[in-house]
Amino acid sequence: MPFFDEVNETAPRERLRMLQFDKLQKLLREISGRNRFYTKKWSDSGIVAADIQSFSDFEKLPFTHKSELIQAQEEAPPFGTNATFSVDAYTRVHQTSGTTGTPMRVVDTPESWDWWGHCWAHVLKGAGVTSADRIFLPFSFGPFIGFWATVEGAKRVGAMMIPGGGWDSIQRLHMMRELGANVVCCTPTYALRLAEVAREAHFDMRSLSVRALIHAGEPGANVARTKARIEAAWGAKCFDHAGASEVGAHSFECELQPGGIHLIESEFIGEVLDPQTGKAVQAGEIGELVITNLGRPGFPVIRYRTGDLVRMNLTPCACGRTFARFDGGLLGRSDDMVTIRGVNVYPTAIENVIRQFGSVDEFRVTVTTVHEMHHLEVQIEVVSGNDVEHVRMHVEQAIYQALSLRPTVRVAKPGTLAHFEMKARRFRRLDGPLENQQ
Ligand SMILES: [Zn+2]
């Protein structure tokens, strides 16, 4: 079993907690009085960083919200008050895609960029990648941090990195075949899209040497049905990974595919809290992931509300790692969770049901609110050659069986639902009936 940092990855949990705490104290010393954002935040809450002497002290630190980081950026453009050091200390800037509002800029020093590579090396080694491998990155290298950090990780494990930006999907498939790429990093949506393109162009996927896909950007790689679909289409294992521009690459799936992702606890402190009360939930219960990154003093996040729903599992993994796992990966967004007739519904639960249908190509889920009542509307595109009404009815029944909720399933004309190459947005909410919005 290849490890990247075996001593820490397999350390007894008490030692891991001590390591986290040592790193935390060092970080607090480094940024206190220097990082304008946190210095003000803590002094506003009457907290002195030097007084944080235990994990229970740590829990007194106020949460950090994304909106505050955006505001910090507006107050001191372009990089914001969370940039701890003077601008000349930084060598990289990235920004979020801004699909859900103002883009957030993040900056890295050479040391923290190395740290990104260190975290990504865990992701790659977790999937069994070594110096013998060739990693294909079908990704356009824009300002989004996305797979840029994968390049650093590939360097750390000594693998060959094949850049695949600026090409169309069919060119990418040919390039993978010609160069013998055996690992691909992309979103789950794009993995399915490449398989669809191959099918349309009569490109034989079995002619590729790909044995592993490493996914990011969306939860799909841990949605059992989506995973199975990708693995069948590619004849390869598919591994999940989670991270965020403002946090770092924090979680990865190990080769044993235990049905979840390991949190890199040597580099991050993860807490799982009730999103409403902010109180810790029991291990095994669903809550919001709150994270502290320990290796990015130039742009730290301390007790950051990720908005991601997770279920933490502290039992040891058969791979030998003692790092906690999130069962099922990221389960959805805490603000996407909606209660319909007493049932908690989150996007991955619906995706898991729909993806079992090979006859469904693309789908979109809308929660409509009419007269204060929520209703689930699902639109599907059916692969040609199938009995459309038959598929529609079966999808409706399957959702009902899985969630005890009766949705309205409608068939969309082929090509009318968005086919995503990067982050898919298949879940939305509307006030009023769906017909009014079309
Ligand atoms: Zn494991």
Mean pLDDT for the chain overall: 91
**Contacts of residue 159, Cβ cutoff 8 Å, sequence gap at least 6:** 124, 129, 130, 131, 132, 133, 134, 135, 183
CA of 152 to the centre of ligand 1 (A): 23
Distance from C-alpha of 343 to C-alpha of 123, rounded to nearest angstrom: 34
Distance from C-alpha of 51 to C-alpha of 59, rounded to nearest angstrom: 12
Distance from C-alpha of 150 to C-alpha of 262, rounded to nearest angstrom: 17
CA of 123 to the centre of ligand 1 (A): 11
CA of 213 to the centre of ligand 1 (A): 17
Q: What 8-state DSSP symbol labels residue 159?
A: -
Are the C-beta atoms of residues 389 and 410 closer than 8 Å to each other? Answer: no
What is the per-residue pLDDT for 403?
Answer: 82
Mean pLDDT of 286-301: 96
Confidence tier at 423 by pLDDT (50, 70, 90): low
Q: If we measure between CA atoms, which residue out of 38, 17, 16 comes closest to residue 27?
A: 38
The 10s digit of each residue's pLDDT in 126-138 is: 999 999 999 999 9
Distance from C-alpha of 38 to C-alpha of 68, rounded to nearest angstrom: 11
Enter the tokens of residue 265. Answer: 């606890």
Mean pLDDT of 226-253: 95
In this model, does residue 183 exceed pLDDT 90? yes
97-101, 107-111, 406-410, 411-415: the lowest-pLDDT one = 97-101
CA of 264 to the centre of ligand 1 (A): 11
Q: What 8-state DSSP symbol labels residue 158?
A: T
For residue 429, the one-letter residue type is R
Mean pLDDT of 142-160: 93
In this model, does residue 437 exceed pLDDT 60? no
The 10s digit of each residue's pLDDT in 241-276 is: 999 999 999 999 999 999 999 999 999 999 999 887
What is the per-residue pLDDT for 438?
Answer: 46
Find where tokens 């992701």 sit: 123
Confidence tier at 69 by pLDDT (50, 70, 90): very high
Are the C-beta atoms of residues 320 and 1 closer than 8 Å to each other? Answer: yes
- Tally helices (H) and strands (E) across the chain: 12, 21
40-49, 169-178, 258-267, 347-356: the lowest-pLDDT one = 347-356
Q: What percent of the chain has pLDDT over 70?
A: 96
269: which strand partners?
292
What's the start-to-end Cα distance of the chain, in Å?
52
CA of 322 to the centre of ligand 1 (A): 8
How many beta carbons lie within 10 A of that of residue 259, not counting itself? 15
Enter the tokens of residue 36. Answer: 């304008």
What is the total residue count of the chain? 438
CA of 324 to the centre of ligand 1 (A): 9
Q: If we measure between CA atoms, which residue out of 363, 434, 354 comes closest to residue 400?
A: 354
The 10s digit of each residue's pLDDT in 381-391 is: 999 899 999 99
CA of 268 to the centre of ligand 1 (A): 17
Quick one: which H or E segment has residue 356?
Answer: none
Confidence tier at 230 by pLDDT (50, 70, 90): very high
What is the per-residue pLDDT for 422?
Answer: 54
For residue 18, the one-letter residue type is M
CA of 323 to the centre of ligand 1 (A): 8
CA of 130 to the centre of ligand 1 (A): 17
CA of 391 to the centre of ligand 1 (A): 37
CA of 369 to the centre of ligand 1 (A): 41
Confidence tier at 147 by pLDDT (50, 70, 90): confident
Are the C-beta atoms of residues 28 and 51 closer than 8 Å to each other? Answer: no
How many beta carbons lie within 10 A of that of residue 362, not counting itself? 24
Confidence tier at 332 by pLDDT (50, 70, 90): confident
Confidence tier at 351 by pLDDT (50, 70, 90): confident
CA of 321 to the centre of ligand 1 (A): 6
CA of 431 to the centre of ligand 1 (A): 43
**Contacts of residue 360, Cβ cutoff 8 Å, sequence gap at least 6:** 354, 380, 381, 382, 383, 391, 395
Distance from C-alpha of 214 to C-alpha of 405, rounded to nearest angstrom: 33
In this model, does residue 426 exceed pLDDT 80? no
CA atoms 408, 412, 416, 417: torsion sign: positive
Strand bridging mode 268-273 / 304-313? unpaired
The neighbourhood of ligand 1, an ion, using CB within 5 A, equals: 254, 317, 319, 321
Mean pLDDT of 2-20: 96
What is the per-residue pLDDT for 208?
Answer: 98
In this model, does residue 231 exceed pLDDT 90? yes
What is the per-residue pLDDT for 98?
Answer: 65
CB neighbour class for 124 (10 Å; exposed up to 12, middle 13-18, buried from 19): buried
CA of 9 to the centre of ligand 1 (A): 10
The 10s digit of each residue's pLDDT in 191-213 is: 999 999 999 999 999 999 999 99
Phi, psi of 191 (to 5 degrees): -60, -40
62-71, 109-118, 198-207, 352-361: the lowest-pLDDT one = 352-361
